[in-house]
């Protein structure tokens, strides 16, 4: 939390802690009017969860966008994620996703740098551009902690190999991970695949243990994915019993972490 937050924000936090959501909402609004994007983020979270008011994802996205417009890099990343994943009343829009991801990356958000590099690499919402992907992967590698640096370096090695040989390395898919989820859901753009990938990048990648888990997954998952990809019954089974429940859990954990990050 920065030292220049509005005094209304602290009062709002106190009201929220004692369960007075009406007072908290009013004070968060005043905080946002003072130019404090944390206040706008809190309002977005209240609407998203339905804390003391009617749950409204569209209104949550509006307030998160307001926080982003005030200048919060973390809010920009969240807005980009909303549009990238498509959440209930907020339609998927890769153009909006890349716009806000770009702004967050330029303000120094390392996770935004990583995701922006992915957008450029795969041409989601913008023209595929390997040079820009390399640029942002390098920026991410310089700022991400622990295993995140190693993952960014792997991505760089993969792209540099593609450029030099003009063909994709046979090992390239392993660096992208999420094989089983993609095979089960039929597309890397499926919402469950995206939330699992987001959880990997934001929660597992920054930690050494998470990096080790990813390494093991990348080693064992390709043959499993290949086995279920051509079997509709296997895809349905894995999607219903493994991928779906894991995605719901990852989504709830990511929201909890987002909430803790701005305390």
For residue 41, what are its two tokens? Answer: 């983020």
Euclidean distance between CA atoms 216 and 200, whole angstroms: 13
Query: Three-class SS of residue 52?
Result: coil
Per-residue pLDDT tens over the stretch 251-260? 777 665 555 4
More confident residue, 37 or 175: 37
pLDDT at 67 > cutoff 50: yes
Per-residue pLDDT tens over the stretch 37-59? 889 989 988 998 888 888 888 88
- pLDDT value, residue 3: 43
| pTM, rounded to two decimals | 0.49
**% pLDDT > 90, the chain:** 10
Per-residue pLDDT tens over the stretch 230-240? 788 888 899 88
- pLDDT value, residue 220: 67
Cα angle 49, 52, 58; round to 5:
45
Query: Average per-residue pLDDT in the chain?
Result: 76
Provide DSSP, 138-193: HHHHHHS-THHHHHHHHHHHHHHHHHHHSS--TTHHHHH--HHHHHHHS-TTSHHH
Per-residue pLDDT tens over the stretch 121-144? 777 766 778 788 888 888 887 766
pLDDT at 10 > cutoff 50: yes
Per-domain boundaries in the chain: 177-263
């Amino acid at each position: 939390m920065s030292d220049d937050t509005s005094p209304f924000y602290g009062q709002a936090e106190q009201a929220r802690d004692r369960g007075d959501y009406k007072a908290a909402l009013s004070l968060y609004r005043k905080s946002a009017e003072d130019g404090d994007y944390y206040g706008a983020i809190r309002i977005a979270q209240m609407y998203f969860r339905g804390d003391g008011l009617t749950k409204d994802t569209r209104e949550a996205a509006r307030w998160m966008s307001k926080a982003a417009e005030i200048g919060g890099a973390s809010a920009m990343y969240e807005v980009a994620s909303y549009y990238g994943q498509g959440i209930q009343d907020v339609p998927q829009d890769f153009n909006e996703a890349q716009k806000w991801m770009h702004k967050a990356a330029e303000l120094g958000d390392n996770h935004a740098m990583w995701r922006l590099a992915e957008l450029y690499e795969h041409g989601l919402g913008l023209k595929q551009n390997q040079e820009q992907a390399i640029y942002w992967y390098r920026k991410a590698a310089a700022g991400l902690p622990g295993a995140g640096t190693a993952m960014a370096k792997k991505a760089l090695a993969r792209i540099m190999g593609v450029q030099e040989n003009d063909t994709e390395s046979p090992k390239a898919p392993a660096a992208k991970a999420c094989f089983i989820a993609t095979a089960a859901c039929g597309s890397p753009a499926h919402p469950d695949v995206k939330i699992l990938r987001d959880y990997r990048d934001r929660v597992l990648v920054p930690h050494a243990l998470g990096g080790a888990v990813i390494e093991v997954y990348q080693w064992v998952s390709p043959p499993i994915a290949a086995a279920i990809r051509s079997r509709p019954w296997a895809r349905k089974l894995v999607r219903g019993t493994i991928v779906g429940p894991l995605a719901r859990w990852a989504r709830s954990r990511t929201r909890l972490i987002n909430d803790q990050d701005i305390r």
